[in-house]
Amino acid sequence: MVQVHLWSGLRPLVDGREVVEVEGETVGQLLDNLVKDYPGLKPAIDKGVSISVDGQIIPKSRGVKVKDSSEVFLLQRLYAG
Amino acid sequence: MSKIHVTTKVNGDEVEYLCEPRETLLDCLRDHLDLTGAKEGCGTGDCGACSVTMDGRLVCSCLVLGAEAQGKEIATIEGMAEDGALHPLQRKFIEHAALQCGICTPGILVAAKSLLEKNPDPTETEMRYWLAGNLCRCTGYDKIIRAVMDAAAEMREAS
Amino acid sequence: MALDGPKQDFKYIGTRPERPDGWDKVTGKARFGADFSMPGMLHGAILRSPHAHAKIIKIDATKALALKGVKAVVTRADFPEGLEGEDWNIQENVMAGEKALYDGHAVAAVAATSQLIARDALKLIEVEYEVLPHVTDVDKAMAEDAPVIREGAADYSVPEGMHPNVVRYMESGRGDLEKGFAEADLVIEESFTTEAAHQGYIEPHACVANLGADGKGDLWCCTQGHWFVRQMCTAVLGLEATQLRVTPSEIGGGFGGKTTVFIDPVALALSRKAGRPVKLVMSRSEVLRATGPTASASMDIKMGMTKEGKITAASGTFRMQGGAFPGAPVDVTTMLAFANYDIEHVHHVGYDVMTNRPKQAAYRAPGAPMGAFATESVLDELCRGLGLDPIETRLKNAVKEGTPATFGPKFPPVGLIETLEEARAHPNYSVKLGPNQGRGVASGYWMNWGGETSASVAIGDDGSVQVSIGTVDIGGSRASMALMAAEAFGIPYENVRVSIADTGSLGINEPTHGSRATFASGLAIIEASREATRKLCQRAADKWGIDADAVTWEDGCAKPSGPNAGEFDPLTIAEIAAEMGSTGGPISGHHESTPDGFGGSFGTHVVDVEVDPETGRTTILRYLVVQDAGKAIHPAYVEGQFQGGAVQGIGWTLNEEYIYGEDGRLQNPIFLDYRVPVASDLPMIDTVIVEVPNPGHPYGVRGVGETGITPPLPAIANAVRDAIGVRMKKLPLTPPRVLAAIKARD
Ligand code: FES
Ligand code: FES
């Protein structure tokens, strides 16, 4: 299981939890499982989120590998500018 | 609406065009003579991207009517390099990376050349005030000023 | 994507050769957006709403169509219905539907045989409006009695009970604010506002469109990203993506403002209707009224510090309006507001608010400068209150590799500390100041970007190299690209030619935005070059009759290695290229990816100002930019980015602002009144390039384009504070405002 840290605006959608645990070996699997296990997050994830894995911000690559020990944060969807 | 027939000299060549009374010199250069080196950044005389000289005087071609060019001598960026050789200002602009996007460059080169013709040894402040009518949004002017100073020094040495 | 660690020894990288497009640009030959024409071309013009908010009751173009030379008029009725999300937003923005949403909103367009006729025809189009109440200020737009711009625009994130103009809401943070503030020796709480500033590119938007009734078309335009243009235009017009080919012209500045479309779909619609190519060029006032400036902001900041200078807690509320559509970059503002520092207890709240203003567009580090203005101002007050040095204090709190960012994750290697140390050591930091003079320091951050990228390299028959990329060159990047290809092939810089491919010639590329071009296209070029050199080695191996593994590529040559070393004479790229046709065909390399290894760039600025106590005018005496470039490929253009960003920041701080009248109309839509910095306003802009290699790029590159606009806002405000003894909390610091502050002080 990977620990996924949520920004505080998301916490009300998952009963106030700051961190949720989901299965997944890639960013894409994490996002899919987050929606499956925590349906409250669906509108946010559908709208688009970015994710960081071990400090690297991943705007949209679903294939990036994730380990159980990885530090993972959901972030507001980022764009370039 | 009847058009006006204009005969003028551009970069040493005699040219003719027909223009509407409302058309600017900038429009005429760009649309009737295919000289698109002068740019329209504002159309109100505030940016200098359209700078050319008319009878040796620096003007914003967006503020001059096409009809006013009758019998005059116009010089544009297209005439600045002679016989395939860049003018020292042009060379120094490339050397000093004095352009980023380059849209302001034709106007600034024409304006700078006109400054150095009047004052071959301007101070930095004089340069900055002379070029205050030429906006550059990319460079912050630092490298432009350095390029002009360097070109001026080279030209003084050569003369 | 982790690569094998950045390369360190370079032959070409880090030199300053002349840019490949230099000649064309200094001789007037380079073709920008408005410099393109086609046979049979018509000229377009757009009619714009004079009202900030109005229902469009009726549009009657009969008289315009009767004018000699007018070939077509389009309104929203000429665009398909049923779009959703951002596609709908863009369609609504390029041509108003039921309502005009801001002063300058397009309501109809004409194509005619000349520009003058097209403009005359606009005056003959009759539009009946029902004027509605409007709002242009972010705080007023959130008030209970504010007119509603559009019902139902809010997304899931907005809690119930907020005004419908609040369309996104965000909250993030960690720790326990109360505890953090209790640990502080000094807590300061202040509110700040910044006005909208325009990117101010000198080249107005321009395009030539040619679209047939069969749905196939071409578009030439000045843009930062032609695949974005293709996606947006085809969505707005209901076309198939690849049926529209978009070719970018040279681009006369963009700074984020040319990553979206304003006139291109309108030109295409006119062309389709008239059956001829149509050229559309914006005037400066159209640019200012109807393209995207950045958002304006209203912010409340609270920060606490111990007397040793440690930040104990920080919280910020950021309200931003981005015009009549969702999209103010408040998400980035909240993310980066405190990102320079290691803060245990931190909290951010953000509101994205709609008003009757033009749809905001990205502007260099979108969202970052506003937040930095507020937070770095408060930090400065804390330092003053506790008698601490601003650089030492920043050093005490600065993030470094492994620090948990205020937005969550731990930082990879970053260079904030290095920029602070360089700034402290720079002679500018110890110049003695005179009366009415002041010094200000501030730091800023931009996280940078990777983005979809595709690039090709092809070997010419003489061994020279053609590079095709999809990121337009907005500030000399072709020089950097050629340097990276030269380095990867080991051939002279002059033997590389870099072209920007159109959408029909390469896979999708995101725009030149997010400080990504040198990083991402550069990475793609290096990888594509490596693929090509592998093929070159294979050809050599075939010729020598040895294994390809036993051949290495070095200094532009294939060389036998291992047991065969020295056995055969090296084959140069030219020798292999000369025989390509008979040894297996053309040789090229290709790479596509969405690279994620972009590393952020920190910068620290130091500025000295003098404030004239009689007039309130602020003069910049000296200005220093120190920023981390990871590895500067072409240092002159890196410095150029630093200087240009700083000066745009200076403009935003001192002069530039959108001024709306009571009637909701923009009052300063020309360069005379929307005053960007001119040469005589400025000193030289000193630069120091710091290089903390980015492990995510083969040469260590970090994007450098955007960070530079973030520190100037607070750095100058801090310097003015130092000079006049008053904290200015509202930008811009125009002479009347500063003078009023001086008067109020005395
Ligand atoms: S276009 Fe003539 S001054 Fe700007
Ligand atoms: S180089 Fe872009 S405006 Fe001057």
DSSP state of A37: H
C721: tokens are: 């504070």
Q: pLDDT band for position A36 (50/70/90)?
A: very high
Burial per residue of C339-353, b for 16 or more beta-carbon CB atoms within 10 angstroms, e otherwise:
bbbbbbbbbbbbbbb
Task: Give the per-residue pLDDT at C4.
Answer: 54
**Which of A34, A20, B142, B42 minimizes the C-alpha distance to C646?**
B142
**pLDDT tens, C17-40?**
999 999 999 999 999 999 999 999
B159: tokens are: 């003369």
List C-alpha distances in Å: C716 to A26, C333, C654, C656, C712.
Answer: 45, 19, 9, 14, 6
Query: What is the percent of chain B with per-residue pLDDT over 70, rounded to a whole number?
Result: 99
Full set of structural domains in chain A with CATH = 2-76 (3.10.20.30)
The answer to whether A7 faces chain C, any CB pair under 8 Å, is yes
Q: What is the dihedral of CA C361, B143, C521, C255, to 10 degrees?
A: 0
Contacts of C399 (CB under 8 A, 6+ apart): C339, C340, C341, C342, C405, C411, C414, C416
Contact C644 B100 (CB under 8 A): yes
**pLDDT tens, C468-503?**
999 999 999 999 999 999 999 999 999 999 999 999
Whole-number Å distance between alpha carbons of C230 and C679: 37
Whole-number Å distance between alpha carbons of C123 and C66: 13
Cross-chain CB nearest to C408 (options A56, A73, A80): A73
C359: tokens are: 């749809």
Full set of structural domains in chain B with CATH = 4-79 (3.10.20.30), 88-158 (1.10.150.120)
Q: pLDDT band for position C564 (50/70/90)?
A: confident
**pLDDT tens, C507-541?**
999 999 988 999 999 999 999 999 999 999 999 99
| Ligand 2 center from residue B137 Cα (angstroms) | 5
C28: tokens are: 């007037």
Q: Which residue of C has its CA nearest to B38?
A: C28
How confident is the model over C101-122, as a mean pLDDT? 98
C121 vs A81, higher pLDDT = C121
B27: tokens are: 């429009």
Taking a contact as any Cβ pair under 8 Å apart, which residues of chain A between 9 and 38 contact chain C? 9
**Does residue B131 line the site of ligand 1, with CB under 6 A?**
no
State the SS3 of C533-556.
HHHHHHHHHHHHCCCHHHEEEECC
Q: Which residue of C has its CA nearest to B131?
A: C679
Cross-chain CB nearest to A80 (options C157, C411, C451): C451
Q: pLDDT band for position C566 (50/70/90)?
A: confident
What is the torsional sign of CA B62, B66, B68, B69? positive
- Sheet containing strand C437-446, edge to edge, reads C437-446, C601-611, C618-628, C685-690
Task: Give the per-residue pLDDT at C563.
Answer: 85
How confident is the model over B108-137, as a mean pLDDT? 98
Q: Looking at this protein, which amino acid is placed at residue C210? A: N
How confident is the model over C388-402, as a mean pLDDT? 98
Q: List CB contacts (< 8 A) between B36 and chain C.
A: 28, 31-32, 34-35
Neighbours of C88 (CB within 10 A): 16
Full set of structural domains in chain C with CATH = 367-448+599-745 (3.30.365.10), 450-593 (3.30.365.10)
Whole-number Å distance between alpha carbons of C224 and C472: 6
Whole-number Å distance between alpha carbons of C259 and C268: 18
Q: pLDDT band for position C1 (50/70/90)?
A: very low
Ligand nearest to the CA of B46: 1
Exposed/middle/buried for residue C484 (C-beta within 10 Å: 0-12, 13-18, 19+): buried
What value of ipTM does the predicted structure carry?
0.98
Ligand nearest to the CA of B63: 1
Q: What is the pairing mode between strands C496-500 and C465-469?
A: parallel
B16 vs C698, higher pLDDT = B16
| Ligand 1 center from residue B78 Cα (angstroms) | 17
Task: Give the per-residue pLDDT at A81.
Answer: 63
Q: For chain B, how big is the Rg over CA atoms in Å?
A: 16
Q: Looking at this protein, which amino acid is placed at residue C452? A: E
Whether C contacts B, i.e. 3 or more CB pairs less than 8 A apart, is yes
Task: Give the per-residue pLDDT at C536.
Answer: 98
Q: List CB contacts (< 8 A) between B104 and chain C.
A: 202, 252
- Sheet containing strand C571-572, edge to edge, reads C551-554, C557-560, C571-572
Task: Give the per-residue pLDDT at B159.
Answer: 86
**Does residue B38 line the site of ligand 1, with CB under 6 A?**
no
Q: Provide φ and ψ at C168, rounded to 5°.
A: -145, 145
Task: Give the per-residue pLDDT at B2.
Answer: 86
